[in-house]
Amino acid sequence: MDEDEIRAFAEGRPAVPPYGAEARARARERLLEQARGAGRFRLPRFGWQAAAAFGVTVALVGGAAVTLSGRGPDGVTPATSATQAAAGAPDDLDPRPGQFILVESDVMYPLFRIGRSGVDSRELTREHRKVWQSVDGSADGLLLVEGRASRPWPDESLPEAAAKEQRGSAYIALPACPGDQYRPDYASLSTLPSEAAAMRAYVYRASAAQVSKAQGKRVVGTDEAAWAHVKGLLEDTYLPRAQREALFEATKTIPGVEVTEGVADGADREGVALGRPDVGGKLTQLIFDPTTRQYMGLRSTVTDAGQANAPVGSVVNLTAQYDASVVDELPDVKTRPMNGGTCHTPSRPPSDEAFPMEAPSDEAFPTDALSEDGFSMEAPSDEAFPTDALSEDGFPMEAPSEDSVPVEPPGEAYPVITRTVTASPEPPPAGD
């Protein structure tokens, strides 16, 4: 600070008492209450929603926790096995508009519990997932997450918080996004290129928005973004035969990708793997049925112990995705809304209400002082956060637990966020 006038204020800054421990704890708890109401479930991993498919998975330690209760939601048993194709030789599905495609999977991934001073513990968390998607994208989908017991981090013992945790299940509504450019429904996936080169071009085009250059801390290259997009296209979805064959061939051509035969998925089924070094000292392999090119799951193996903090060769991500089936309707269950899983098609141009633009004004008090709430970001928020107001809904799966926030699904689906710092011509909101 080289300006005397500013330095005078800096030096004259009033001494203030520290934030009282009690008030601080109260504020933090209020925040956590709000956060708990907002729900915390892993979102489907469709690539086009994964603006940050490169995210880590964290859980927070230290807040009072809401965990999934051990009780199954309402004893619903969707009839799936009857329509499931025989493993290994799945007949191609022939779904009709109005129906739903159900994809089940078992997944395991690293979870870090984060406390005030950094990572408190780590584990490999597991869940069983069922995802129903409307065949033509006309209706909301459904996600069932059933918690499974965590496994210890390689060469470590299971953290106490993980051992004590009671995992349950939850149904989450997946909003239909008919206006979105990239959608995970069968009808939409059927329109993807059926030829490898065109599919490759599509993947690079669709993932271009996720390429980042020196923004934030990690640079995401075009190949890495394309690779992540491929993952997103495969996980929780069912691709028609032509598209999955094209995608397999296209993925082989992404720089860094290597083909390995006989790689086992999370259900110990062997397939052909397309592997690529991933961030964090891992090799990630996408595993496919050798003949049908059905996606079977993924496996991430540590290649750099220092980066991964786990011995070389240990497996830290492991998935088995099972054959898809067609069902006529969704199970009739109480759902909770999906937080953050919003449509990409904004109902209005992206604006940032947290940054209301100040109208250039030299008057001591701008006119927005007259608005009753006087606070534009407090206005009922848009559909980007439909769940924030829903904390009182009494979702059936909530149960108190003591001292840690339970396993959190990886946050892989973030809405695209844009903001421009410019003076806005918009006048402040006029109130009464």
* Residues in 20-79 at the binding interface with other proteins, rule: CB under 8 A: 20, 23-24, 26-28, 30-32, 34-36, 38-43, 52, 54-60, 62-63
**Residue 410 interacts with other proteins (CB under 8 A): yes or no:** yes
Provide the CA 325 distance to its chain's centre, in angstroms.
Answer: 23
Pick the closer one to other proteins by CB: 31 or 163: 31
> How is residue 76 annotated by DSSP?
-
Whether 297 and 284 have beta carbons less than 8 Å apart is answered as no
Of residues 295-334, those binding other proteins (CB under 8 A): 300, 304, 306-310, 317
Residue 385 touching other proteins (CB under 8 A): yes
Q: Does residue 363 interact with other proteins by CB under 8 A?
A: yes
Establish if 415 lies at the interface with other proteins (CB under 8 A): yes
340 binds other proteins (CB under 8 A): yes
Nearer residue to other proteins within complex by CB, 258 or 382: 382
List of residues 6+ apart from 56 with CB closer than 8 A: 110, 112, 410
Q: How far is the CB of 90 from other proteins (least distance, A)?
A: 28
Given candidates 106, 123, 323, 408, which one binds other proteins under the rule CB under 8 A? 408
Q: How far is the CB of 266 from other proteins (least distance, A)?
A: 15
Structure tokens at 263: 């790689």
Contact residue for other proteins among 332, 365, 400, 430 (CB under 8 A): 365
Ranges within 111-140 binding other proteins (CB under 8 A): 112, 114, 116, 118-119, 122
Q: Which residues does 182 contact at the CB level (< 8 Å), separation at least 6?
A: 46, 47, 48, 188, 206, 344
Segment 224 to 283, residues that bind other proteins, using CB under 8 A = 278-282
Residue whose pair of structure tokens reads 């840690």 in the numeric block: 404
Helix, strand, or coil (residue 184): coil
Handedness of CA 295, 297, 303, 304 (dihedral sign): positive
Residue in 211, 283, 357, 399 binding other proteins, rule: CB under 8 A: 357
Residue 364 token pair: 């001591």
Candidate segments 75-83, 158-166, 181-189, 337-345, binder of other proteins by CB under 8 A: 337-345
Strand locations in 329-415 (E): 336-337, 398-401
Please give the angle made by the CA atoms of 404, 405 and 407, to the nearest 5 degrees.
120
The answer to whether 52 touches 414, Cβ cutoff 8 Å, is yes
